[in-house]
Amino acid sequence: MGHVPSVRRGPRRCAGLASHPARPDRCGDGVACWARALERCGALDDPRGGTRRRSTTPAAALTVLDAQAVVALLLGEPASPEVAELLRDPERPASISAINVAEVIDVLVRVTGRRHDEVIEKLDWLVAGGLTVVSVDDAIGRTAGRLHATRYHRRERPLSLADCVALATALASGEPIATSDPPLAVTAREEGCDVIRLPDSQGRRPD
Protein backbone atom coordinates (compact mmCIF):
# COMPACT_ATOMS: atom_id res chain seq x y z
CA MET A 1 0.00 0.00 0.00
CA GLY A 2 1.33 3.41 -0.93
CA HIS A 3 1.00 6.81 0.64
CA VAL A 4 -1.96 7.02 3.02
CA PRO A 5 -3.62 10.46 3.19
CA SER A 6 -5.17 11.86 6.35
CA VAL A 7 -8.84 11.13 6.85
CA ARG A 8 -11.85 12.34 8.79
CA ARG A 9 -13.71 9.33 10.18
CA GLY A 10 -16.97 8.75 11.92
CA PRO A 11 -17.32 6.56 15.02
CA ARG A 12 -17.18 2.77 14.89
CA ARG A 13 -20.32 1.08 13.57
CA CYS A 14 -22.67 -0.83 15.83
CA ALA A 15 -23.53 -4.46 15.17
CA GLY A 16 -27.10 -3.60 14.22
CA LEU A 17 -26.05 -1.47 11.27
CA ALA A 18 -24.85 -4.35 9.13
CA SER A 19 -28.32 -5.91 9.08
CA HIS A 20 -30.23 -2.66 8.57
CA PRO A 21 -31.92 -2.72 5.16
CA ALA A 22 -31.14 -0.14 2.50
CA ARG A 23 -34.47 1.29 1.38
CA PRO A 24 -35.88 4.68 0.52
CA ASP A 25 -37.90 6.33 3.27
CA ARG A 26 -40.16 9.34 3.52
CA CYS A 27 -37.20 11.66 2.81
CA GLY A 28 -36.60 10.00 -0.55
CA ASP A 29 -33.39 8.19 0.43
CA GLY A 30 -32.03 5.67 2.89
CA VAL A 31 -30.03 8.03 5.09
CA ALA A 32 -32.64 8.94 7.71
CA CYS A 33 -33.77 5.36 8.40
CA TRP A 34 -30.13 4.28 8.52
CA ALA A 35 -29.41 7.03 11.05
CA ARG A 36 -32.36 5.92 13.20
CA ALA A 37 -30.91 2.41 13.33
CA LEU A 38 -27.61 3.85 14.53
CA GLU A 39 -29.37 5.92 17.19
CA ARG A 40 -31.25 2.86 18.50
CA CYS A 41 -28.02 1.01 19.23
CA GLY A 42 -26.31 4.12 20.64
CA ALA A 43 -23.72 4.40 17.88
CA LEU A 44 -24.01 8.12 17.32
CA ASP A 45 -25.22 11.42 18.66
CA ASP A 46 -26.94 14.00 16.53
CA PRO A 47 -24.05 15.23 14.33
CA ARG A 48 -25.35 18.79 14.50
CA GLY A 49 -24.41 18.88 18.16
CA GLY A 50 -21.28 16.74 17.93
CA THR A 51 -17.66 17.70 18.36
CA ARG A 52 -15.11 18.20 15.58
CA ARG A 53 -13.59 14.89 14.46
CA ARG A 54 -9.84 14.60 14.24
CA SER A 55 -7.92 13.31 11.25
CA THR A 56 -6.51 9.83 11.78
CA THR A 57 -4.73 7.15 9.79
CA PRO A 58 -7.15 4.47 8.57
CA ALA A 59 -6.75 1.09 10.25
CA ALA A 60 -8.71 -0.87 7.65
CA ALA A 61 -8.84 -1.09 3.88
CA LEU A 62 -11.14 1.44 2.27
CA THR A 63 -13.40 1.56 -0.77
CA VAL A 64 -13.25 5.01 -2.37
CA LEU A 65 -16.59 6.40 -3.59
CA ASP A 66 -16.82 8.99 -6.31
CA ALA A 67 -19.30 11.85 -5.93
CA GLN A 68 -21.95 10.23 -8.11
CA ALA A 69 -22.07 7.19 -5.82
CA VAL A 70 -23.11 9.37 -2.87
CA VAL A 71 -25.50 11.39 -5.05
CA ALA A 72 -27.10 8.11 -6.16
CA LEU A 73 -27.54 7.05 -2.54
CA LEU A 74 -29.15 10.32 -1.50
CA LEU A 75 -31.46 10.44 -4.52
CA GLY A 76 -32.48 6.77 -4.36
CA GLU A 77 -31.07 5.97 -7.81
CA PRO A 78 -30.36 2.38 -8.99
CA ALA A 79 -26.91 2.33 -7.35
CA SER A 80 -28.37 3.28 -3.95
CA PRO A 81 -28.63 -0.26 -2.44
CA GLU A 82 -25.09 -1.15 -3.51
CA VAL A 83 -23.64 2.08 -2.15
CA ALA A 84 -25.49 1.53 1.14
CA GLU A 85 -24.03 -1.97 1.28
CA LEU A 86 -20.53 -0.55 0.82
CA LEU A 87 -21.19 1.93 3.63
CA ARG A 88 -22.27 -0.89 5.95
CA ASP A 89 -19.25 -3.13 5.27
CA PRO A 90 -17.17 -3.19 8.50
CA GLU A 91 -14.26 -4.94 6.78
CA ARG A 92 -13.84 -2.28 4.07
CA PRO A 93 -15.25 1.08 5.18
CA ALA A 94 -16.25 3.53 2.47
CA SER A 95 -14.37 6.78 1.93
CA ILE A 96 -14.70 9.88 -0.23
CA SER A 97 -12.35 12.74 -1.05
CA ALA A 98 -13.13 16.12 0.47
CA ILE A 99 -13.20 17.52 -3.08
CA ASN A 100 -15.87 15.01 -4.05
CA VAL A 101 -17.91 16.00 -0.99
CA ALA A 102 -17.92 19.51 -2.46
CA GLU A 103 -19.08 18.01 -5.77
CA VAL A 104 -21.94 16.16 -4.01
CA ILE A 105 -23.14 19.41 -2.42
CA ASP A 106 -22.91 21.27 -5.72
CA VAL A 107 -24.89 18.65 -7.66
CA LEU A 108 -27.61 18.24 -5.04
CA VAL A 109 -28.10 21.96 -4.37
CA ARG A 110 -27.43 23.59 -7.73
CA VAL A 111 -28.54 20.85 -10.14
CA THR A 112 -31.34 19.04 -8.30
CA GLY A 113 -32.60 21.97 -6.21
CA ARG A 114 -32.19 20.43 -2.75
CA ARG A 115 -31.80 22.79 0.19
CA HIS A 116 -28.22 23.28 1.31
CA ASP A 117 -28.95 22.66 5.00
CA GLU A 118 -30.74 19.38 4.21
CA VAL A 119 -27.83 18.16 2.11
CA ILE A 120 -25.33 19.04 4.83
CA GLU A 121 -27.41 17.21 7.44
CA LYS A 122 -27.52 14.05 5.34
CA LEU A 123 -23.77 14.20 4.76
CA ASP A 124 -23.28 14.63 8.51
CA TRP A 125 -25.30 11.47 9.12
CA LEU A 126 -23.19 9.54 6.60
CA VAL A 127 -19.96 10.66 8.27
CA ALA A 128 -21.39 9.87 11.71
CA GLY A 129 -22.30 6.41 10.39
CA GLY A 130 -18.72 5.71 9.31
CA LEU A 131 -18.08 7.37 5.93
CA THR A 132 -14.46 8.52 5.84
CA VAL A 133 -13.64 11.91 4.33
CA VAL A 134 -10.10 11.94 2.92
CA SER A 135 -8.04 15.11 2.79
CA VAL A 136 -6.46 16.20 -0.49
CA ASP A 137 -2.74 16.49 0.14
CA ASP A 138 0.18 17.35 -2.13
CA ALA A 139 0.64 13.80 -3.45
CA ILE A 140 -3.05 13.41 -4.33
CA GLY A 141 -3.08 16.85 -5.96
CA ARG A 142 -0.07 16.03 -8.12
CA THR A 143 -1.49 12.67 -9.18
CA ALA A 144 -4.86 14.22 -10.01
CA GLY A 145 -3.12 16.86 -12.12
CA ARG A 146 -1.20 14.20 -14.01
CA LEU A 147 -4.33 12.16 -14.63
CA HIS A 148 -6.29 15.11 -15.99
CA ALA A 149 -3.40 16.38 -18.10
CA THR A 150 -2.66 12.99 -19.71
CA ARG A 151 -6.01 11.15 -19.75
CA TYR A 152 -8.61 13.82 -20.45
CA HIS A 153 -10.12 14.13 -23.93
CA ARG A 154 -13.08 16.43 -24.56
CA ARG A 155 -15.04 13.92 -26.67
CA GLU A 156 -13.50 10.50 -26.04
CA ARG A 157 -12.78 10.75 -22.31
CA PRO A 158 -14.43 13.74 -20.59
CA LEU A 159 -12.86 13.26 -17.17
CA SER A 160 -13.49 16.08 -14.72
CA LEU A 161 -10.74 17.22 -12.40
CA ALA A 162 -12.92 16.03 -9.49
CA ASP A 163 -13.00 12.55 -11.09
CA CYS A 164 -9.22 12.63 -11.19
CA VAL A 165 -9.08 13.58 -7.50
CA ALA A 166 -11.31 10.59 -6.66
CA LEU A 167 -9.04 8.25 -8.61
CA ALA A 168 -5.89 9.81 -7.16
CA THR A 169 -7.33 9.21 -3.68
CA ALA A 170 -7.85 5.52 -4.48
CA LEU A 171 -4.39 5.19 -6.03
CA ALA A 172 -2.76 6.83 -3.00
CA SER A 173 -4.02 4.09 -0.70
CA GLY A 174 -4.09 1.23 -3.21
CA GLU A 175 -7.83 0.74 -2.77
CA PRO A 176 -10.68 0.19 -5.28
CA ILE A 177 -12.92 2.97 -6.53
CA ALA A 178 -16.70 2.61 -6.80
CA THR A 179 -18.16 4.50 -9.75
CA SER A 180 -20.81 4.44 -12.46
CA ASP A 181 -18.83 6.81 -14.69
CA PRO A 182 -17.41 5.07 -17.82
CA PRO A 183 -14.44 7.43 -18.44
CA LEU A 184 -13.41 7.21 -14.79
CA ALA A 185 -13.75 3.41 -14.76
CA VAL A 186 -11.63 3.03 -17.90
CA THR A 187 -8.94 5.36 -16.57
CA ALA A 188 -8.88 3.58 -13.20
CA ARG A 189 -8.29 0.21 -14.85
CA GLU A 190 -5.52 1.66 -17.01
CA GLU A 191 -3.89 2.99 -13.85
CA GLY A 192 -4.06 -0.44 -12.19
CA CYS A 193 -6.89 0.50 -9.80
CA ASP A 194 -9.67 -2.01 -9.14
CA VAL A 195 -13.15 -0.76 -10.00
CA ILE A 196 -16.47 -1.53 -8.32
CA ARG A 197 -18.88 -0.99 -11.22
CA LEU A 198 -22.06 0.76 -10.06
CA PRO A 199 -25.20 1.27 -12.17
CA ASP A 200 -25.92 4.80 -13.38
CA SER A 201 -29.31 6.53 -13.17
CA GLN A 202 -30.49 4.38 -16.12
CA GLY A 203 -29.22 1.14 -14.56
CA ARG A 204 -26.24 0.83 -16.92
CA ARG A 205 -22.85 -0.17 -15.56
CA PRO A 206 -19.52 1.01 -17.02
CA ASP A 207 -17.66 -1.50 -19.20
Query: Within a domain: residue 5?
Result: no
Residues 6+ apart with CB under 8 A from 102: 162
Query: Within a domain: residue 78?
Result: yes
Greater confidence (34 vs 198) lies with 198
At residue 60, the pLDDT reads: 56
The distance of Cα 139 from the centroid of its chain, to the nearest Å, equals 20
**Which of 86, 99, 112, 92 lies closest to 30, judged by CA?**
86
Domain containing 136 — which CATH number? 3.40.50.1010
Whether the pLDDT of residue 70 is over 80: the answer is yes
Greater confidence (197 vs 129) lies with 197
Query: Within a domain: residue 207?
Result: no
Partners of 133 in the beta sheet? Answer: 8, 96
Structural domain that includes position 165 = 15-52+59-197
Residues 6+ apart with CB under 8 A from 202: 78
CA–CA distance, 129 with 95 (Å, rounded to integer): 12
pLDDT tens, position by position, 101-139:
999 999 999 999 999 999 999 999 999 989 999 999 999
CA–CA distance, 205 with 200 (Å, rounded to integer): 6
Counting every residue, how long is the chain? 207
Query: Within a domain: residue 204?
Result: no
Average model confidence (pLDDT) across the chain: 81
pLDDT tens, position by position, 14-66:
333 333 433 333 344 455 555 554 444 333 444 444 433 333 344 457 899 99
Predicted structure pTM score: 0.75
At residue 35, the pLDDT reads: 53
Greater confidence (34 vs 148) lies with 148
Query: Within a domain: residue 3?
Result: no
Whether the pLDDT of residue 93 is over 60: the answer is yes
Q: Tell me the average pLDDT across 73-90.
A: 94
At residue 108, the pLDDT reads: 97
Tally the domains of the chain. 1
Q: SS3 for the chain, per residue?
A: CCCCCCEECCCCCCHHHCCCCCCCCCCCCCHHHHHHHHHHCCCCCCHHHCCCCCEECCCCCCEEECHHHHHHHHHCCCCHHHHHHHHHCCCCCEEEEHHHHHHHHHHHHHHCCCCHHHHHHHHHHHHHCCCEEECCCHHHHHHHHHHHHHHCECCCECCCHHHHHHHHHHHHHCCCEEECCHHHHHHHHHCCCCEEECCCCCCCCCC
At residue 92, the pLDDT reads: 85
Query: Within a domain: residue 129?
Result: yes
